[in-house]
Amino acid sequence: MKITELTALELGAKIRAGEVTVKEAVQAALEQAKAAEPMINSYVTLDEEGAYAQAEEIQKKIDAGELTGPLAGVPVAVKDNMCIKGQLTTCSSKILSNFKPTYTAEAVENLKKAGMVILGKTNMDEFAMGSTTETSWYGPTKNPHNTAHVPGGSSGGSCAAVAAGECFGALGSDTGGSIRQPSSYCGVVGMKPTYGTVSRYGLVAYGSSLDQIGPITKDVSDCAAFLEVIASHDPKDSTSVEREDYDFTSALKDDVQGLKIGIPRDYLGDGLDPEVKEAVLAAAKVLEKRGAVVELFDLGLVKYAIPAYYTIASAEASSNLERFDGVKYGYRAAEYEGLHNMYKKTRSEGFGAEVKRRIMLGSFVLSSGYYDAYYLKALRTKALIKQEFDKAFEKYDVILGPAAPTTAPELGTSLSDPIKMYLGDIYTISVNLAGLPGISVPVGRDKKGLPVGMQLIGSAFAEKTLIRAAYTYECATGKAHEKMAEVKASEKEVR
């Protein structure tokens, strides 16, 4: 058996048992990365030297009994919009191409505390704006299941790296589906926790009221274990919530008896690929067989989520990205005349097309005379969408649907029509607007062999319910749909 085929928890257990050293684990992941990277480009930075140094230190602590957690020694990757002290943090943008933060994101600190090895920073859509990881200044990431296709986005690098065995789990961020959609495309498990569960400190903001960091893993057990590590109440993030409990792994129970699951009819309508629909409904049937009560229902306002989302996210982004101006850090245009020209040239040269168009849109909807008609209207719509979910959760424990309308599209086919691309976020976006938790779990493949993901949505703070349902599904199907991508690479066998 190959080390890279182990799940994070399996690897952690072997490390604790002394069957695999941390260095061996790091080496296996790095070798896999070296083989796969030329084909998939999931990392912006691979910190080989740093990883071995961490491995050595962590191994000592494990040997000394100072690190006893289930994930100690496990090599992981971090999306390149989370700051790590002294390490390049680019957001896959030219404007931050030389930026080395002097502080570390709280979620990453939590990984370190758990004794995890950080291998590097993964590729993403520039500033997390995109659904394909094609807007990266460092070139697109490719889907490890089929390199002619995109991995999804914006956490495409993290999802591809996990799917390709280049790490044993990764952190992503999700503003409108940026964890769940690429997880679906790459056949991995990805969760967006309830807003406020994971600290946003050190996460370079896109849409502050929507952004949330979450785990991307090989299976549901790893997902629960990762979430347990990164979730924390952080006084540095005013929107961080102190939760009643953080023992997410206790929800890994093969039991959905009596669980009420609702499938919104609107999630099965126009635009949904029949193969995706089939796989998702089959998955629902599996849960029904295990004792869940599944029914179709009408979730209102589904079609208004996208315009409301793009108004709010673009507005917040236009403000959040004002700080990139060539004054304090990052790229500054080489030639300019005076202050305002320096600003304009720096930003026009430093940002890519998608980022620029969202900034333009966001600045416009906030500008004098339009604020009420656009921005406030969107915030009112958001309130109504949340009410719709509140109503639904009076009846159901879990809302089930696809994570994305299709499987991964081919490279170069999405960016030309932004609205069409945005429509791909239809099932994920409202979850961010309402601040709810959502998980994407692999439930099948299309004819091309590309993975299909099922999304489970919970009420606020109901991650454990989602974990239980997803775990039950996984047990029932014997993890049939969680096979790693086949990347041609030589790997050393364990013993």
Q: Map the footprint of other proteins across residues 328-387, applying CB under 8 A.
A: 328-332, 336-345, 347-348, 351, 353, 356-357, 359-368, 371, 374-384, 386
Site string (418-437) toward other proteins, x via CB under 8 A: xx-------------xxx--
Nearer to other proteins, 371 or 448 (CB): 371
In this structure, are strands 170-174 and 117-122 parallel, antiparallel, or unpaired? Answer: unpaired
Binding residue (CB under 8 A) for other proteins from 322, 391, 448, 480: 322
Residue 307, token pair as written in the block:
């315009």
Binding status of residue 260 toward other proteins by CB under 8 A: no
Residue in 31, 45, 121, 24 with CA at minimum distance from that of residue 80: 121
> Known catalytic residue: 79?
yes
Q: Provide the b/e sequence for 373-402 (b: ≥16 CB within 10 Å).
A: ebbebbeebbeebbebbeebbeebbbbbbb
Task: Supply the minimum distance, in Å, between the C-beta of residue 461 and other proteins.
Answer: 9
Residue 303, token pair as written in the block:
């079609």
Contacts 24+ apart (CB under 8 A), 411-417: 411/132, 411/134, 411/140, 411/142, 411/148, 411/149, 411/150, 412/134, 414/131, 414/132, 414/134, 414/150, 415/130, 415/132, 415/134, 415/135, 415/354
Nearer to other proteins, 17 or 334 (CB): 334
| # binding residues, other proteins (CB under 8 A) | 98
Which of 131, 136, 178, 430 is labelled catalytic? Answer: 178
CA 182 – CA 120 distance, rounded (Å): 19
Strand order in the sheet with 212-217: 43-46, 117-122, 75-79, 170-174, 212-217, 189-192, 438-445, 451-458, 398-402, 260-264, 293-297
Nearer to other proteins, 246 or 304 (CB): 304
Residue 344, token pair as written in the block:
């304009």
Which of 42, 93, 154, 414 is labelled catalytic? Answer: 154
Footprint of other proteins on 50-69 (CB under 8 A): none
Nearer to other proteins, 432 or 472 (CB): 432
Nearer to other proteins, 45 or 217 (CB): 45
Binding residue (CB under 8 A) for other proteins from 253, 303, 391, 448: 303
Task: Supply the minimum distance, in Å, between the C-beta of residue 197 and other proteins.
Answer: 11
Binding residue (CB under 8 A) for other proteins from 195, 226, 427, 471: 195
Residue type at position 311:
T
Binding status of residue 325 toward other proteins by CB under 8 A: yes
Binding residue (CB under 8 A) for other proteins from 238, 274, 335, 447: 238
Residue type at position 364:
F
Q: Please name the helix (run of DSSP H) or strand (run of DSSP E) that holds residue 154, with its range, or none.
A: none
Footprint of other proteins on 90-129 (CB under 8 A): 91, 96, 98-103, 105
Asked if residues 128 and 206 have their Cβ atoms less than 8 Å apart, the reply is: yes
Q: Provide the b/e sequence for 332-369 (b: ≥16 CB within 10 Å).
A: bbeeeeeeeebbebbbeebbbebbbebbebbeebbeee
Nearer to other proteins, 59 or 414 (CB): 414
Binding status of residue 87 toward other proteins by CB under 8 A: no
Residue in 290, 293, 203, 300 with CA at minimum distance from that of residue 255: 290
Binding status of residue 233 toward other proteins by CB under 8 A: no
Q: Please name the helix (run of DSSP H) or strand (run of DSSP E) that holds residue 145, with its range, or none.
A: none
Footprint of other proteins on 122-181 (CB under 8 A): none
Binding status of residue 239 toward other proteins by CB under 8 A: yes
Q: Which residues pair with 454 in a beta bridge?
A: 402, 441
Binding status of residue 392 toward other proteins by CB under 8 A: no
Binding status of residue 88 toward other proteins by CB under 8 A: no
Task: Supply the minimum distance, in Å, between the C-beta of residue 352 and other proteins.
Answer: 10
Task: Supply the minimum distance, in Å, between the C-beta of residue 170 and other proteins.
Answer: 18
Nearer to other proteins, 351 or 427 (CB): 351
Nearer to other proteins, 151 or 330 (CB): 330
Footprint of other proteins on 441-470 (CB under 8 A): 460
Active site positions, annotated: 79, 154, 178
